[in-house]
A = this chain, B = another copy of it.
């Protein structure tokens, strides 16, 4: 869904050192088609015998989330997951069947935030929108 290089570049561009655990992690993330949890990556890393360790995975995901190369999602279940993405403001629709996700511009939401600001008097600083549904592929397969 995302090239491993773009993740490596995120590290690089922000002045982080290029290490083999980070390269390996980039590959693991790039190999994912949908959203994934830290646990998923960890399991995958342990499968191959030279994958990054638990601590590195968590630490790197945090960095990547800060850099915007990855976004943290709050699943309806209360758990956390991540999706690789382009570093621009946007949101995701996540397929609850296969986990695949698609980016969505927040076209319209900006306006809504302004309307809310006017109505409530709050100064709205940030928002998070998460959409969950079924992707086209799963819809047709489900038939």
Contacts and interface: CB of A to CB of B under 8 A. Distances in A.
A31 interface: no
A127 B129 contact: yes
Given A74-B74, A76-B126, A78-B80, A116 B139 contact: no
Interface string A121-143: 11111111111111110010000
Q: How many copies does the complex hold?
A: 2
A106 B15 CA distance: 41
B128 A133 contact: no
A116 B135 contact: no
Contacts of A74: 74, 128
B96 A125 contact: yes
Contacts of A127: 129-132
A93 interface: yes
Contacts of A76: 126, 128
Interface of A: 72, 74, 76, 78, 80, 93, 95-96, 102, 104, 107-109, 111-113, 115-117, 119-136, 139
List the 4 shortest-distance A-B pairs measured between CB atoms, nearest first.
A121-B136, A74-B74, A124-B133, A122-B133
11 contacts: A76-B126, A95-B122, A96-B125, A102-B122, A104-B119, A108-B108, A108-B111, A125-B133, A125-B134, A127-B132, A128-B129
